[in-house]
Amino acid sequence: MHSRLHGIGRIGGKTFGVLVAMAALAAAAGTSAAAPAVKAAPSAASDSSMTLRAGQAGTEFRSMTVEGEDRVHIDFGRPELTLDLDPEQVPGLTRGTALDVLNRTRPELSTPLIALSSQERSPYVAKPWLRKFATGPVAVFRPAVTGAVRWRLLVADSRGQTVASFDGTGDPPKEIAWDGRTKSGALVTPGLTYSYVFEAHDRAGNKRSFVGQGFDVSAYRSDTPAGAMLAMSGRDLVPAENGGTSYGPSSRTGKETPPIFLEVATWLNQSPQVGDPIRVTVGARSLDQATMLGNRAVASLSGRVIGDPARVHMVTEVAPDAPEDGVLRIGSWTGSATTPPRK
């Protein structure tokens, strides 16, 4: 039987080995016969193919003819198979994003949350938005007077001194707004009781005066060239349910920050002058009271304002006519950074 292998390569010398087993067919049949012969290769001039001869290795060939039995055993080496494969980059094996995982699985969160809230106190306590500081006018007067030739409105403090006045000709406007500025341009002191008198003259020269009820100026915010100025009374530091005062044994001295200081820090952080020093001006009837209120304000604001906490400075003033619980004015200070306000 003839077996023909065609190809271009090299047998012998590396890993190829060819074993051709030829048995004496004549001997098996009881007759003598010649051993199978391997055909001689044609000349290179007429044919480029070659014949692989037994016992020879290293023969280069393009085609090969083997004659003999039909059992041919060929061993050849296989190259090492290395898979350069990254599982993270193979399509179909990517893990996906966290959103993909959540879309595939829907966690049940209500039961663990209810179990946690029923046994432990939540550290996240909601705080309502504070509006202790009034913006705009500190007082609005509405005189209902007609037929007047000229009129005048006087605002007096608790000592009877005029702090602001308004006048005009003809009928007065329906509303007269007071921005909290005194005649000298200073900000009015909150926590004190003020009164007002309205005078009107008719065409006959008669004068009529209307005395209004006393009113208090609550904490207010005023815009100044240096930024927002926040004025409040020491009474605003005491919660309504406490019933005490801001100074003395009945004052609250715990670590809890008065809510109004949270609003003060919010206004200061919204100011464009976040790098300027902050001046806390405290007025009280005694130095001890002023110092206590000032230290309380500085300690509450230092950790809540943007920037260096050391930019909060205190100025104390002793005024016999100050409110009983003192008064605080807090705002940006545009002086030299190397010369802080006096303490």
Closest CA relative to residue 259, chosen from 138, 127, 171 = 127
Return d(Cα 331, Cα 343) in angstroms, integer: 15
- Given a cut of 80, whether residue 97 has pLDDT beyond it is no
Q: What is the pLDDT of residues 59-76, one digit of tens each?
A: 665 666 666 666 666 777
E strand segments, the chain? 2-11, 17-20, 59-67, 72-75, 134-135, 139-141, 150-156, 162-169, 176-178, 193-201, 207-211, 215-216, 220-224, 227-233, 278-284, 312-318, 327-332
Domains of the chain, residue spans: 2-75, 136-216, 220-332
Q: Once rounded to an integer, what is the mean pLDDT over residues 325-331?
A: 93
Closest CA relative to residue 342, chosen from 317, 318, 321, 325 = 317
Token pair recorded at residue 327: 């008064």
Residue 154, SS3?
strand
Return d(Cα 137, Cα 232) in angstroms, integer: 15
- Given a cut of 50, whether residue 161 has pLDDT beyond it is yes
Any residues with CB less than 8 A from the CB of 117 and at least 6 apart, and which? none
Return d(Cα 198, Cα 165) in angstroms, integer: 10
Return d(Cα 37, Cα 51) in angstroms, integer: 11
Q: What's the CATH code, domain 136-216?
A: 2.60.40.4070
Cα distance between the two ends of the chain? 119
Token pair recorded at residue 91: 């399509």
Return d(Cα 179, Cα 161) in angstroms, integer: 18
The most distant pair of C-alpha atoms in the chain lies apart, rounded to whole Å, by 169
Percent of the chain clearing pLDDT 70 (strictly above): 64
pTM over 0.75: no
Instruction: Assign domain 220-332 to its CATH architecture.
Output: 2-Layer Sandwich (3.30)
Tell me what pLDDT residue 43 has: 43
Q: Which of 35-39, 53-57, 107-111, 310-314 has the highest mean pLDDT?
A: 310-314
CA distances in angstroms from 211 to 142, 143, 177, 197, 314, listed in the order given: 13, 11, 17, 5, 39
Q: Which of 110-124, 146-160, 264-278 has the highest mean pLDDT?
A: 146-160
Q: What is the pLDDT of residues 173-232, one digit of tens each?
A: 999 999 888 988 888 999 889 999 999 999 988 999 999 889 988 899 988 777 788 999
Return d(Cα 263, Cα 273) in angstroms, integer: 17
For residue 296, give the H/E element and its range: helix 287-302
